[in-house]
Structure 1
């Protein structure tokens, strides 16, 4: 849907961002005991890093399409 840009006095069309695939399923599971093991911590860290990558890809796509300021 176009909107009026009062500052420029012209209609601008909205644009879609580039598609970004959904984040993969989480690999981390609840810790088996009171203190997480190194493997449990590493799985959680990998999930957080994967989500960080997805969020950055979404932000980059939104900047490219003009939905966010560069």
Structure 2
């Protein structure tokens, strides 16, 4: 919610966090058989690492903007 005192409002407005790139498209598909192949598993690991990088980037930018505690 925005601060409602017009005389002091500008000083209390929130800062914007830096932009974060979107997470790349997911590369995995459903496994064809009962057990995934090594290649299918490796794609899941790659997608998870990409998601982790994106989430950590967002958290770092929110901390830098003062929206999260360091």
TM-score by structure 1 length?
Answer: 0.84
**Stretches of 4+ aligned residues off by more than 4 angstroms:** none
Alpha-carbon distance in 2 for matches of 1:31, 1:67: 40
Greater relative contact order: 1 or 2 (C-alpha under 8 angstroms, separation 6 or more)?
2
Aligned-residue Cα RMSD (Å) equals: 1.8
Alpha-carbon distance in 2 for matches of 1:3, 1:69: 21
User: For structure 1, which runs of at least 5 residues remain unmatched after alignment?
Assistant: 5-9
TM-score by structure 2 length?
Answer: 0.84
Write out per-residue CA displacement over residues 8-38 of structure 1, whole angstroms, 9 at most, x where no aligned residue.
Answer: xx95220110000111100011101000000
Q: How many pairs were matched up?
A: 65
Point out the structure with the larger strand share. Answer: 1
